[in-house]
Chains A and B, each alone.
Chain A
Amino acid sequence: MATATESPSAHGGVFRRLSRTLFRHPLLKLATLLAAPITWMVVVYLGALAFLLVTAFWSVDSFTGSIVRSWGFQNFQELWSVQVYRTIALRTLGIAIGVAVADIMLAFPLAYYAARIATPRVRNALLLAVVVPLWASYLVRVFAWKLILTPNGFLNWLVELTGVGSLQIGASNWAVWITFVYLWLPFTLLPIYSSLERIPPSFLEASSDLGGKSWVTFRRVVWPLALPGVVAGSIFAFSLTLGDYITPTLVGNTQFIGNVIYNNVGIANNLPLAAAYAFVPIVIISVYLIIARALGAFEAL
Chain B
Amino acid sequence: MEPRGARIAVRVMTWITLLFLYIPLVIIIVYAFNDSIGQKWPLEGVTTRWFGVAWSNGEVRQSLVNSLVVAAIATVLALLLGTAASFAVHRFRFFGREAVSFALVLPIALPGILTGIALNSAINVSGVPFSLLTIMVGHATFCVVVVYNNVLARLRRTPTSLVEASMDLGADGWQTFRYVTFPALRTALVAGALLAFALSFDEIIVTNFVSGVELTLPKWIFNNLRQPRNRPVVNVVAVVVMLLSLIPVYLAQRLAGREGVGVGGSGTRSA
Number of interface residues of B (CB under 8 A): 93
Q: Which chain A positions have C-beta within 8 A of B10? A: 109, 112-113, 117
Residue interface mask B22-36, A partner, CB < 8 A = 1: 111101100100000
Cα A217 to Cα B177 in complex, Å, equals 54
Residue interface mask A179-211, B partner, CB < 8 A = 1: 000110111001000000000000010001000
Cα A136 to Cα B13 in complex, Å, equals 23
**Quick one: which of A52, A113, A143 contacts B225, CB cutoff 8 A?**
A143
Q: State whether the Cβ of A163 lies closer than 8 Å to any Cβ in chain B.
A: no
Q: Which residue of A lies closest to B199 (CB)?
A: A135
Main secondary structure of the interface of B (DSSP, over half): helix
Q: State whether the Cβ of A164 lies closer than 8 Å to any Cβ in chain B.
A: no
**Min distance, Cβ B50 to any Cβ of chain A, angstroms:** 14
A147 with B28: CB separation less than 8 A = yes
Cα A46 to Cα B111 in complex, Å, equals 15
Report if A37-B172 is in contact (Cβ < 8 Å); known contacts: A139-B204, A244-B111: no
B18 with A34: CB separation less than 8 A = no
**Quick one: which of A46, A134, A278 contacts B103, CB cutoff 8 A?**
A46
Cα A301 to Cα B107 in complex, Å, equals 18
**Min distance, Cβ A147 to any Cβ of chain B, angstroms:** 6
B87 with A185: CB separation less than 8 A = no
Q: Which chain B positions have C-beta within 8 A of A110? A: 13-14, 17-18
Which of B57-65, B68-76, B182-190, B258-266 has 4 or more CB atoms under 8 Å from chain A?
B258-266
**Min distance, Cβ A215 to any Cβ of chain B, angstroms:** 8
Q: State whether the Cβ of A265 lies closer than 8 Å to any Cβ in chain B.
A: yes
Q: Which chain B positions have C-beta within 8 A of A20? A: 172-173
B111 with A190: CB separation less than 8 A = no
| Chain A stretch 108-143: residues in CB contact (< 8 A) with chain B | 109-110, 112-114, 116-117, 126-141, 143
**Quick one: which of A15, A34, A41, A140 contacts B88, CB cutoff 8 A?**
A34
**Quick one: which of A40, A129, A135, A271 contacts B141, CB cutoff 8 A?**
A40
Cα A15 to Cα B178 in complex, Å, equals 11
Q: Which chain B positions have C-beta within 8 A of A187? A: 268
15 CB < 8 A contacts A-B = A12-B174, A18-B174, A20-B173, A40-B140, A110-B14, A138-B203, A141-B25, A143-B234, A143-B238, A144-B27, A152-B41, A182-B21, A190-B265, A243-B113, A278-B117
Add 14 more A-B contacts to A47-B122, A139-B218 (CB < 8 A). Answer: A20-B172, A23-B173, A44-B122, A45-B119, A48-B119, A51-B125, A109-B17, A130-B21, A135-B246, A137-B246, A140-B28, A143-B234, A242-B111, A274-B117
The chain A residues found within 8 Å of chain B, CB to CB, are 12, 15-16, 18-20, 22-23, 26, 30, 32-34, 36-38, 40-42, 44-49, 51-52, 55, 106-107, 109-110, 112-114, 116-117, 126-141, 143-148, 150, 152-154, 156-157, 182-183, 185-187, 190, 204, 208, 214, 239-240, 242-246, 250, 258, 261-262, 265, 271, 274-275, 278, 281-282, 285, 301
